[in-house]
Amino acid sequence: MSEITTTDQASRYAKSLEANTWAQEIMPGGVSSPVRAYKAVGRIPVTIKSGDKATVTDIDGNIYIDYVLSYGPLILGHTPEPAAAAMSKVLRSGWSFGMPTELESQLAQTIVDAVPAIDLVRFVNSGTEAVMSAIRLARAATVRDKIIKCTGCYHGHSDSLLVQAGSGATTLGVPSSPGVPAQITAGTVLIPFNDIPTAEKALAENDIAALVIEPIAGNMGCIPPQENYLQTLRDLCDKHGTLLIFDEVMTGFRVAKGCAQSIYNITPDLTCLGKVVGGGLPCAAYGGREDLMRKVAPDGPVYQAGTLSGNPLAMAAGLSTLETLFSTDAYAKLESIGNALEIGLKKIASDAGVPVYTTRVGSMIGLFFSDSPVHNYEDAVACDTAKYSTFFSVMLDQGVILAPSAFETWFVSTEHDQAALDVTFAAAAKAFAAVAAM
Ligand code: KE4
Q: Which alpha helices (H) appear in 206-328, and where do they start and end?
A: 229-240, 259-264, 290-293, 312-327
Whether residue 308 is found in the same domain as residue 341: no
What is the sign, positive or negative, of the torsion defined by CA atoms of 232, 246, 207, 160?
positive
Whether residue 52 is found in the same domain as residue 118: no
Whether residue 232 is found in the same domain as residue 107: yes
Whether residue 300 is found in the same domain as residue 345: no
For the chain, the domain total comes to 2
Residue nearest to atom 18 of ligand 1 (CA): 71
Q: Integer distance in angstroms from the first to the last C-alpha of the chain?
A: 21
pLDDT of residue 416: 98
Edge-to-edge strands, sheet with 243-248? 120-124, 284-288, 270-273, 243-248, 208-213, 146-150, 188-191
Phi, psi of 418 (to 5 degrees): -60, -35
pLDDT of residue 7: 65
Could you tell me how many residues make up the chain?
A: 438
| Residue 167 confidence (pLDDT) above 60 | no
Whether residue 109 is found in the same domain as residue 257: yes
Selected catalytic residue, list 247, 269, 379, 397: 247
Contacts 24+ apart (CB under 8 A), 293-297: 293/119, 293/120, 293/121, 293/122, 293/137, 294/120, 295/137, 295/140, 295/141, 296/122, 296/133, 296/137
What CATH number is given to the structural domain containing 41? 3.90.1150.10
What is the sign, positive or negative, of the torsion defined by CA atoms of 234, 283, 50, 15?
negative
Range 23-38 average pLDDT: 97
Range 192-209 average pLDDT: 94
Return the closest-CA partner of residue 228 out of 196, 192, 269.
196
Give the DSSP H or E segment for 165: none
* Residue 75 maps to a domain: no
247 assigned to active site: yes
User: Which of the 8 DSSP states describes residue 128?
Assistant: H
Range 67-91 average pLDDT: 98
Whether residue 132 is found in the same domain as residue 14: no
264 assigned to active site: no
Chain-centre distance of CA 206, in angstroms? Answer: 29
Range 22-40 average pLDDT: 97
What CATH number is given to the structural domain containing 260? 3.40.640.10
Asked whether the beta carbons of 276 and 75 are under 8 A apart, the reply is: yes
* Residue 143 maps to a domain: yes
**Pocket around ligand 1 at a 6 A CB cut-off:** 33, 35, 71, 126-128, 131, 154-156, 167-168, 214, 218-219, 247, 249-250, 274, 284, 408
Residue nearest to atom 13 of ligand 1 (CA): 250
pLDDT of residue 30: 98
pLDDT-based confidence at 48, cuts 50/70/90? very high
| Residue 173 confidence (pLDDT) above 70 | no
Helix axes 102-114, 312-327, angle to 10 degrees: 40
Whether residue 205 is found in the same domain as residue 319: yes
pLDDT of residue 169: 36
Return the closest-CA partner of residue 150 out of 370, 380, 410.
380
User: Comparing 131-135, 195-199, 224-228, which segment has the lowest mean pLDDT?
Assistant: 195-199
Mean pLDDT over each residue of the chain, to the nearest integer: 95
Strands (E), 167-258: 188-191, 208-213, 243-248
Whether residue 336 is found in the same domain as residue 313: no
pLDDT-based confidence at 187, cuts 50/70/90? confident
Chain-centre distance of CA 173, in angstroms? Answer: 19
Asked whether the beta carbons of 107 and 208 are under 8 A apart, the reply is: no
Q: Which atom of ligand 1 is nearest to the CA of 126?
A: 4
Quote the domain boundaries for residue 252.
81-327
Selected catalytic residue, list 71, 154, 264, 286: 154
Which of 300, 327, 354 is the last residue in one of the domains? 327
| Residue 19 confidence (pLDDT) above 70 | yes
Rg of the chain over Cα atoms, rounded to whole angstroms, equals 21
Which of 298, 327, 356 is the last residue in one of the domains? 327
Give the tens place of pLDDT for each residue, 380-392.
Answer: 999 999 999 999 9
Q: Is the full-model pTM beyond 0.85? A: yes
Whether residue 207 is found in the same domain as residue 266: yes
Give the DSSP H or E segment for 287: strand 284-288
Whether residue 215 is found in the same domain as residue 287: yes
For residues 69 and 50, what is the distance between their CA atoms, to the nearest angstrom?
12
Selected catalytic residue, list 275, 379, 387, 430: 275
Whether residue 186 is found in the same domain as residue 297: yes
Range 344-354 average pLDDT: 98
Give the DSSP H or E segment for 438: none
pLDDT of residue 174: 39
Which of 327, 360, 375 is the last residue in one of the domains? 327
Range 285-290 average pLDDT: 98
Q: Which atom of ligand 1 is nearest to the CA of 71?
A: 18
154 assigned to active site: yes
Give the tens place of pLDDT for each residue, 403-413.
Answer: 999 999 999 99
Give the tens place of pLDDT for each residue, 130-146.
Answer: 999 999 999 999 999 99
3-state secondary structure of 396: helix
Whether residue 282 is found in the same domain as residue 253: yes
